[in-house]
């Protein structure tokens, strides 16, 4: 496969220093890097972050502008824990921005985020704020300490505050993020649902949207290595999440129903349950 000029440019690894670190919660930190290309990313796009000597991992872009890019990272394994130990001034490698972006609609929109999946939705909400009639947000996490961006999400909502849910009941409603959706959708008409988070959550939202014939876009996560459509590790159905996604529309989600929230490829290429 021959890459175009722009594709070659974004795929070239750039070395850059961490210029900002913010603690969002005990397990999530937001990093700021200087990177001109990623600073121009659109909501939904992701970057590949090289943590020297450890690994390269995909991360959604939280914000971009003025030559800087931000992303939020939950410490879950080797690479992310190593990143959490790094300091301002430490060097990282970055490629991207990769993938497509959310469609910026008008009217009334409902955003549903789970854990750090809320990051690209917050980026989107900021872009939509000036254009839309109504913005509602449901955000869920396992516990209070994993619920991030609450103040910013509240500020984005047009009528009432964001609806927060936790699985252990330590904050907000004691349930999954999908639980308040049916009654919210009974009360109000929405033109679009945007979702990002654990795939079983996305699947549940897809089932609700399909039943109610509502348009939806979801950003999906799969194991990624190359980030540019070459290695096949991020396949879902006929799609490569890194290149055809990560944002998928209703019709595409319908095509991958047999895998969505059910199974995925593991590190060794074998199929594993989600």
Ligand X SMILES: Cc1cc2nc3c(=O)[nH]c(=O)nc-3n(C[C@H](O)[C@H](O)[C@H](O)COP(=O)(O)OP(=O)(O)OC[C@H]3O[C@@H](n4cnc5c(N)ncnc54)[C@H](O)[C@@H]3O)c2cc1C
Which positions from 229 through 268 interact with ligand FES, judged by CB under 6 A? Answer: 229-234, 240, 242
Strands 46-51 and 28-34: unpaired
CA dist 42 and 102 (Å) reads 8
What is the full DSSP assignment across 213-228? T--EEEE-----SSSS
Q: Which stretch binds ligand FES (CB under 6 A): 16-24, 73-81, 165-173, 228-236?
A: 228-236
| CA distance from start to end of the chain | 31
- By a kind-dependent CB cut-off of 5 to 8 A, residue 231 interacts, out of ligand FES, ligand X, none, with ligand FES
**Residue 192 in the binding site for ligand FES (CB under 6 A):** no
Shortest distance (Å) from residue 114 CB to ligand X? 11
Stretch that binds ligand FES, among 29-37, 127-135, 171-179, 225-233 (CB under 6 A): 225-233
**Interaction partner, residue 229 (ligand FES, ligand X, none; CB < 5-8 Å by kind):** ligand FES
Pairing between strand 239-240 and 235-236?
Answer: antiparallel
> Comparing C-alpha atoms, which of 173, 41, 195, 176 is closest to residue 109?
195
Binding mask 148-187 for ligand FES (x = CB under 6 A): ----------------------------------------
129 phi, psi to nearest 5 deg:
-45, -45
Token digits of residue 249 = 């529309």
Residues in contact with ligand FES by the rule CB under 6 A: 224-227, 229-234, 240, 242
């Amino acid at each position: 496969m021959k890459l175009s000029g722009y594709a070659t440019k974004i795929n070239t690894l750039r070395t850059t220093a961490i210029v900002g670190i913010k603690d969002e919660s005990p397990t999530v930190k937001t990093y700021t890097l200087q990177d001109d290309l990623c600073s121009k990313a659109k909501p939904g796009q992701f970057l590949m972050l090289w943590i020297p000597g450890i690994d390269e991992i995909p991360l959604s872009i939280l914000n971009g502008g003025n030559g800087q890019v931000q992303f939020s990272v939950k410490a879950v394994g080797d690479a992310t824990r190593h990143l959490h130990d790094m300091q301002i001034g430490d060097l990282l490698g970055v490629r991207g921005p990769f993938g497509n972006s959310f469609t910026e609609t008008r009217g009334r929109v409902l955003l549903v985020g789970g854990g750090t999946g809320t990051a690209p939705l917050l980026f989107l909400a900021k872009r939509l704020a000036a254009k839309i009639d109504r913005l509602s947000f449901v955000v869920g996490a396992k516990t209070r300490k994993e619920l991030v961006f609450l103040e910013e999400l509240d500020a984005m909502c047009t009528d009432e505050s964001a609806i927060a849910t936790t699985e252990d009941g330590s904050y907000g409603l004691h349930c999954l993020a999908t639980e308040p959706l049916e009654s919210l959708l009974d009360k109000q008409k929405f033109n679009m649902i945007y979702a990002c988070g654990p795939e079983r959550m996305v699947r549940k939202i897809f089932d609700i949207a399909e039943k109610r014939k509502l348009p939806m876009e979801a950003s999906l996560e799969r194991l990624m290595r190359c980030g540019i459509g070459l290695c096949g590790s991020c396949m879902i159905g006929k799609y490569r999440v890194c290149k055809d996604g990560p944002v998928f529309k209703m019709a595409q989600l319908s095509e991958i129903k047999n895998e969505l929230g059910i199974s995925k490829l593991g590190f060794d290429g074998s199929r594993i349950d989600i």
